[in-house]
A and B are shown apart, each in its own frame.
Chain A
Amino acid sequence: MSEPIIGLLVGIGILFAIFGILWTLFFTSIFVYAALFSTKNIEKMGEEVAQREAQTLQKFGKDPLSNIRKEYRKDGQNSGLVYANVVYGPSYWHLMIAWFGNVVGGQINILHKVVSTGRALATQRLREQAELAGWDEVLNVRIDTAVMTPITSPNGVKAVEVFAYGTGVKYKGSGNE
């Protein structure tokens, strides 16, 4: 083999090696970041959602969401669909803890916390959408949870989508015009 070709091959090999080392370092550092901060971040998000929820409840005077299926009042004037979604996932650190929890069995607290935070965020967004559109109340609220990655191809993102929807209703003479 002539020298330039060998040189080229060695060059490509070195590039791959550098890329591999950098990638390993990068991945390790974000994994360490996740181990240190991801639980705290999720708790912070939970607190923020609770705060926003309290504000909205104060504005409406009650929880605007309910899953009564029909209009129970006769003075409905206007209605329309409201919906909100969020894709929320655990960190790799949480997945590792969950794996250990899986071996022992029982409730996996950390995943429960992640998914319920995601759901709280989606329902809060639904309340905010309802407020933005000027509805007085949201009836027939449904909350769907769907996995983002199918079980048949497990290499995708590890996250769930929470989708909340309902029918916004505006009542006559509600002063919320």
Chain B
Amino acid sequence: MQHMVEGVIVVNTETIAGKVITKNLGVVGGSTVRAKHLGRDIFAGLKNVVGGELTAYTELLDESRNQAIARMIADATARGANAVVNVRFATSAVTAGASELFAYGTAVVVE
């Protein structure tokens, strides 16, 4: 759950506080599919019988999301952007125990 990566500003609003957008570089995105190893899956299955939070999957999705955001930022910096605005997330369950996380936004240059 980091908040700023290598000086690139990432927000999900259309504008950035105290900055002016000077250039629009188009939509950038990053996605990832990850899974936990079988042991964690079995343990999560047992935890599911009792109910409550499934910590293994909370961690899994958090790690995946960090990776998706990192890839999105890499895409943005490759285009020469220094900020990504209007970021959105999409989650889709590919199969039991593995989800695809997708982060996308508009790469911009701000001053």
| Interfacial residues, chain A to chain B (CB-CB below 8 A) | 27, 30-31, 33-34, 37-38, 41-42, 45, 69-71, 76-94, 114, 118, 121, 129, 133, 139-140, 142, 144, 146-150, 153, 155-159, 161, 163, 165-170
Contacts and interface: CB of A to CB of B under 8 A. Distances in A.
B53 A86 contact: yes
Contact of A89 (B51, B88, B92): B51
Contact of A146 (B62, B91, B97): B91
B17 A148 contact: no
Given A80-B4, A91-B49, A159-B54, A153 B95 contact: yes
Interface of B: 1, 3-4, 9-18, 44-46, 48-55, 57-58, 61-62, 65, 69, 87-89, 91-97, 99
A93 B18 CA distance: 52
Contacts, number: 156
B49 A27 contact: yes
B85 to A, nearest CB: 9
Contact of A153 (B12, B13, B96): B96
